[in-house]
Amino acid sequence: MIDNTAEGPLRVLITGSAGFIGHHLCARLLAAGAEVTGIDALTDYYDPALKRARNVRLENPRFEAVEGRIETPGLLDELVARVRPEIVVHLAGQAGVRHSIEAPESYVEANLIGSFRLLEALRRHPCKHLMMASTSSAYGAETEMPYRETMAANMPMSFYAATKKANEAMAHSYAHLYGTPTTMFRFFTVYGPWGRPDMALFKFTKAILEGTPIDVYNHGKMQRDFTYVEDLVEGLLQLFNVPPQGPVERGPAIAGDSLSPVAPWRVVNIGHGAPQKLDNFIAAIEAATGCAAKRNLMPIQPGDVPATWADTGLQEALIGPLPKTPMVEGVARFVEWYREYHSA
């Protein structure tokens, strides 16, 4: 639910607004009447044309698109000072477990320095609620499942995951020192229309339609908590209205809460809450495309984990149950979008 105020529309700043999740979140906010400012670098990590096409869909008198790298000194400070957002959702950063092995410095610049620039901007120009993207990869070598927010999660398996875990720690220190209510949210294998070309669903669909083999890692013995993008966005919108409270203001404790004892800061899983076998995911793509996949079975890649599974108990305690789009339905929507996008 979006609470527009008597003074005017809710003001929201989204970093990474031309990205997969950022684009969907901006669209929902605009449809709800919010005033949205988005910033995105439109980098060439994947085809910028896809990012520009997402931005075109967001054209609206209440949407401002700013192009720039969040790590640029002064950029976010000036933007936050001008926009004065009530809610900030930090989605920008360098994504990808495998790419972090090949180009780790880009993760330092975007994920660490960029997040630092945002924290500093909000220190000088506070907002009501900062929401920062983390990842299920933060659980790393944890073997107990489902993953709970209260797990230590101190053994990242990739540099990407390490930077996201560092973001959580950085944000906690700023929440403690300066009192900014901060929610870290850990995503679990988000998929859907307008997805990234480096993600499995995009790559598998492209290869299956072209009749070329797909690389199936760990010989197919993988499980993921596949989460449809619109379900995740609904979770983000609901969390807008649940900022963590400081030690003095907070009420009765919630069982299993990750709320910091010294700061208005917590981490929340957002996932489907039910892992699916990779074979089922591929079968859903085959059904949606009407084509059989040719599998190239390979060992697990460095930095990857064989399974993920979100404990959604805290999320449900805070905002109630979220929609759970069936995987077959979500994959079919992606394939329909993919065909339309590439036929345009």
DSSP string across 74-135: THHHHHHHHH--SEEEE--S---TTHHHH-HHHHIIIIIIHHHHHHHHHHHS--SEEEEEEE
Amino acid, res. 197 = P
Tokens of 178: 């300066």
Four-way CATH pick for 11-188+229-271+310-324: 1.10.10.60, 3.40.640.10, 3.40.50.720, 3.60.15.10: 3.40.50.720
- For position 1, what pLDDT does the model report? 53
Domain ranges of the chain: 11-188+229-271+310-324
Residue 8: per-residue pLDDT: 85
Helical axes 278-289 vs 200-210, angle rounded to 10°: 50
User: For position 271, what pLDDT does the model report?
Assistant: 96
Q: Which residues pair with 24 in a beta bridge?
A: none
Work out the angle between the directed axes of helices 20-31 and 229-239 (0-180°, nearest 10). Answer: 60
Q: How is residue 25 written in tokens?
A: 């979140």
**DSSP state, residue 12:** E
Classified as helix, coil or strand, 146 is coil
Q: Which region, left, alpha or beta, applies to residue 140 given φ > 0 means left and ψ of -120 to 50 means alpha?
A: left
DSSP 144: S
- Map tokens 């949205």 to a residue: 36
- 3-class secondary-structure state, position 37: strand
Residue 101 has a CB neighbour count (10 Å cut-off) of 14
The answer to whether the CB of 41 falls within 8 A of the CB of 68 is: yes
Q: Which of 45, 147, 160, 228 is catalytic?
A: 160
Q: Tell me, what's the pLDDT at 6?
A: 54
Give the pLDDT score at 150. 97
In the residue annotation, 160 being an active-site residue is answered as yes
Please report, for residues 30, 285, 337, the alpha-carbon distance to residue 193 in angstroms, rounded to integers and kept in the order given. 18, 13, 6
pLDDT tens for each residue of the chain, 344 residues long: 566 655 789 999 999 999 999 999 999 999 999 999 999 999 999 999 999 999 999 999 999 999 999 999 999 999 999 999 999 999 999 999 989 999 999 999 999 999 999 999 999 999 999 999 999 999 999 999 999 999 999 999 999 999 999 999 999 999 999 999 999 999 999 999 999 999 999 999 999 999 999 999 999 999 999 999 999 999 999 999 999 999 988 888 899 999 999 999 999 999 999 999 999 999 999 999 999 999 999 999 898 889 999 999 999 999 999 999 999 999 999 999 999 999 86
Q: Which residues pair with 187 in a beta bridge?
A: 135, 270
Distances 100 to 45, 160, 265 between C-alpha atoms, Å: 12, 6, 27
Measured distance CA(166)–CA(108) in Å, rounded? 10
Which pLDDT value is given to residue 57? 97
